Structure 1
Amino acid sequence: MSVTRREFGKLAIATVPGALLGEGALRSAFAAAKPNSLIKGVQVGTITYSYRAMKDQSAEATLKYILDSGISAVELMGGPIESFAGAPAMPFRPAPPPAARPAGPAAAGAPPTPAGPGGPGMRRQLTPEEVAAREKYAADLKAWRLSQSMDKFKALRKMYNDAGVTIYATKMLAPNMSDEELEYVFSVAEALGANHTTLELSTDGAVLKRLGAWGEKKKVYVGYHTHLQGTLTAFDEAFAVSKANMANVDFGHYVAAGSGDPVVFLEKFHDRICSFHLKDRKSKENGGANVPWGQGDTPIQRILQTVSKNKYRMPATIEMEYEVPATSDPVAEVRSCVEFCRRVLA
């Protein structure tokens, strides 16, 4: 099947009754000032994983975090999306200590494994009761997903759009989903106005082919995210098997892995990058640490200036992963990353 970028751009514009948005006061609270993080032609956004440490993870609270960060476009993860639509709540979600936090967003819909004794980064085994609760939750969530219309997701899109925030991507895919679940995930992305949905890069050729075929069918790109496995050749098979398979490359991890100059990747594959993640990390030779922007080795300035100069249209996604100072919070830190982008693009 031949699918062009123009065809993918023809996603339906959703309109829904205002009653689906809930209380009018909520809408007016978001309507006061609309952000604009389109900077010198570069759409700077963030993934909502950046706000993972905030207590309230609802779609409404997440929207406020985005607005307070000065962000006008977002990669929205499945948690806020599905809680807004009424998904069953997780039976437990114990948070790992800071040293045990994962390096990137967990697979959509899967509760994190609790961290426990044994030292930083160690994980304890789930109890039989927790295993049973997790399995029941997975079954309940799947049943709920397959029973949904798109009305609530269209309402969520309208709430975000009315506040000045575009949803350019969702993170809800998992490689082992059934066809019915894939239909749901791609339909949600379309209802939200996203032109791609993301997941971790697979090395399974059958998975790459299957998901690419679904992307072609639904006119929504599949964006494969990388951690330290990102290299100049990491996406070759994904690109080869489907035009719908795209890169959601993380340039901070790229530097920490010692994979070379991210700008080389950007210029070579600019037409196959649906969006890219930005963070500042030390190089592999310097230990690879995640640090506040401007203190690491990721060439953020050159990356953003290359996008601006060449008029590339993929969003630059802030993924705030460094340790938040005790005197700050994730919202303030994402806002500082946005300001960093403004300075280097001035």
Structure 2
Amino acid sequence: MKDNSKHARTRRKFLKNSAALATGIVLSEPLVFGAPSILSSYNQNDSKINGVQIGCITYSFRDMTDQSAEATLQYVLDAGINAIELMGDPAEHFAGKPKNPVDRRVFYGMMRKSKSGGLTQNQIKEFEEMKSQLENHRKVVADWRSTVGMGKFEQLKKMYTDKGVHIYAFKPNAFGVKNTDAEIDYGLRAAKVLGADHVTLELPGNDAHTRKLGIMAAKHGMNVAYHGHTQQTPTFWDTALKQSEHNMLNLDLGHYIAGGNTDALELIQSKHERISSMHLKDRKNPENGQANMSFGKGDTPIVEVLQLMRDKKYTYPVSIELEYEVPQDSNPVKEVAKCLEYCRKALEG
């Protein structure tokens, strides 16, 4: 996307049309988002639009109180989504994974404070104890993964399939450098049973590990798709891609733009055959502060990319990833539905 003026004109035209539609909705229905009938996508499983599969990563619902597989399925349905990248916890807990003794929300809150130097001495001690508990729990989980059967994963797939939801990717924390080969094998087997054709993880920055993952994935007929943040560049994945045809991209379009890249359309066209799935969020570029924004408010060329996929008939799924701050009068499910409606307008325009 080197022609920024063209991108700006496309965005302005799209937002103008969307604003006009939104105005009509407001005039006809004062609650706007208070009732499920407002958006055509809400409570409907119809998120494949003009050939482009719009899904979401279930990480988007991380702030919802109930994180069970059953509740996660309902969030997906209520948002109007019919295909997902499933995070590990809902599926693994459904299958009997040992419970984590550490409150994940408290831990991640402390992690954020730790990075900014905002922890007190007592909190530092508590944070270190949490990390020790997590390390012990990691070993317990590794043992569980090495022996658990696939029966519960088969049940989960049926539960989701019966409601019209396809799991195209699985993301348990089972593929890192610290994970055992037994855990990696388990994660690939579970993903296949769930109906996924790829697993996702952060690119580890370890060439020996990506080589091993490619080899292990091949044995299961699966792909491993690597995710990145603002360190993504056009050559970010090249070593892993050369190592194995089973190593693929899990491109994050929003992070790519926040990293200062301006060639998203060119990247996608050159690497589309190696993209297993793409995360979709709207972020500002470095000159504008890199913030996560609601769809249409950032610098990510969402409209242009979706229309490129539609016109070129690219078939990899797009995962809405909710990372902007949810308004006080809303919730993650409603916000994912809003993101889906934005994508729908882009693909029907």
> Per the shorter chain, which TM-score range?
0.7 to 0.9
Q: 1:73 aligns with which of 70, 83, 93?
A: 83
Q: 2:262 aligns with which of 260, 263, 276?
A: 260
Structure 1 segment 46-85 matched on structure 2, within 5 A = 46-85=56-95
Change (3 A) 1:279 1:125: same
Which stretch of structure 1 is more off in the superposition, 256-265 or 184-193? 256-265
Encode CA deviations 1:314-337: one digit per residue, 9 max, x unaligned.
001100100000010000000000
Deviation (angstroms), 1:133:
2.6
Q: In structure 2, what is the Cα distance between the partners aligned to 1:306 and 1:197?
A: 25
Q: In structure 1, what is the Cα distance between the partners aligned to 2:96 and 2:151?
A: 12
Encode CA deviations 1:285-342: one digit per residue, 9 max, x unaligned.
1111100101111010010011111111100110010000001000000000000011
Normalising by structure 2, what TM-score?
Answer: 0.82
SS in 2 for 1:302: helix
In structure 2, the partner of 1:301 is: 303
Deviation (angstroms), 1:122:
4.5
Q: In the alignment, residue 261 of structure 2 is paired with which amino acid?
A: S
Normalising by structure 1, what TM-score?
Answer: 0.83
Change (3 A) 1:256 1:132: closer
Q: In structure 2, what is the Cα distance between the partners aligned to 1:252 and 1:122?
A: 28
Q: In structure 2, what is the Cα distance between the partners aligned to 1:116 and 1:249?
A: 24
Q: In the alignment, residue 114 of structure 1 is paired with which amino acid?
A: M
Structure 1 segment 150-169 matched on structure 2, within 5 A = 150-169=150-169
Encode CA deviations 1:139-189: one digit per residue, 9 max, x unaligned.
221111111111100110010010010000001232322111111010000
Q: In structure 2, what is the Cα distance between the partners aligned to 1:248 and 1:118?
A: 28
Deviation (angstroms), 1:204:
1.3
In structure 2, the partner of 1:13 is: none
Q: 1:282 aligns with which of 251, 268, 284?
A: 284
In structure 2, the partner of 1:114 is: 110
Q: In structure 2, what is the Cα distance between the partners aligned to 1:310 and 1:215?
A: 28
Deviation (angstroms), 1:247:
0.3
Q: In structure 2, what is the Cα distance between the partners aligned to 1:250 and 1:140?
A: 32
In structure 2, the partner of 1:133 is: 133
Q: Kindly indicate whether the alpha-carbon contact (under 8 Å) linking 1:114 and 1:126 is maintained by their aligned counterparts in 2.
A: no
Change (3 A) 1:69 1:116: closer
Unaligned stretches of 5+ in structure 1? 1-32, 97-110
Q: Kindly indicate whether the alpha-carbon contact (under 8 Å) linking 1:95 and 1:115 is maintained by their aligned counterparts in 2.
A: no
Q: In the alignment, residue 95 of structure 2 is paired with which amino acid?
A: A
Q: In structure 2, what is the Cα distance between the partners aligned to 1:271 and 1:116?
A: 36
Unaligned stretches of 5+ in structure 2? 1-42
In structure 1, the partner of 2:253 is: 251
Encode CA deviations 1:113-147: one digit per residue, 9 max, x unaligned.
73486796846535464344323311221111111
Encode CA deviations 1:244-303: one digit per residue, 9 max, x unaligned.
000001010111111122111110000000001010011111111100101111010010
Encode CA deviations 1:57-76: one digit per residue, 9 max, x unaligned.
00000000000000000000
Change (3 A) 1:207 1:292: same
1:40 aligns with 2:50: yes
SS in 2 for 1:222: strand
Q: Kindly indicate whether the alpha-carbon contact (under 8 Å) linking 1:115 and 1:122 is maintained by their aligned counterparts in 2.
A: no
Q: Kindly indicate whether the alpha-carbon contact (under 8 Å) linking 1:34 and 1:164 is maintained by their aligned counterparts in 2.
A: no
In structure 1, the partner of 2:199 is: 197
Q: In the alignment, residue 151 of structure 1 is paired with which amino acid?
A: G
Q: 2:341 aligns with which of 334, 339, 342?
A: 339
Q: 1:325 aligns with which of 327, 344, 349?
A: 327
Q: In structure 2, what is the Cα distance between the partners aligned to 1:91 and 1:114?
A: 16
Q: Kindly indicate whether the alpha-carbon contact (under 8 Å) linking 1:36 and 1:71 is maintained by their aligned counterparts in 2.
A: yes
Q: In structure 1, what is the Cα distance between the partners aligned to 2:339 and 2:178?
A: 35
**Identical-residue share of aligned pairs (%):** 45
Q: In structure 2, what is the Cα distance between the partners aligned to 1:259 and 1:55?
A: 36
Change (3 A) 1:121 1:219: farther
| Paired positions, count | 300
Larger Rg: 2
Tell me how large the CA RMSD over aligned residues is: 1.8
Structure with the larger helix share: 2
SS in 1 for 2:138: helix
Q: Kindly indicate whether the alpha-carbon contact (under 8 Å) linking 1:34 and 1:163 is maintained by their aligned counterparts in 2.
A: no
In structure 1, the partner of 2:229 is: 227
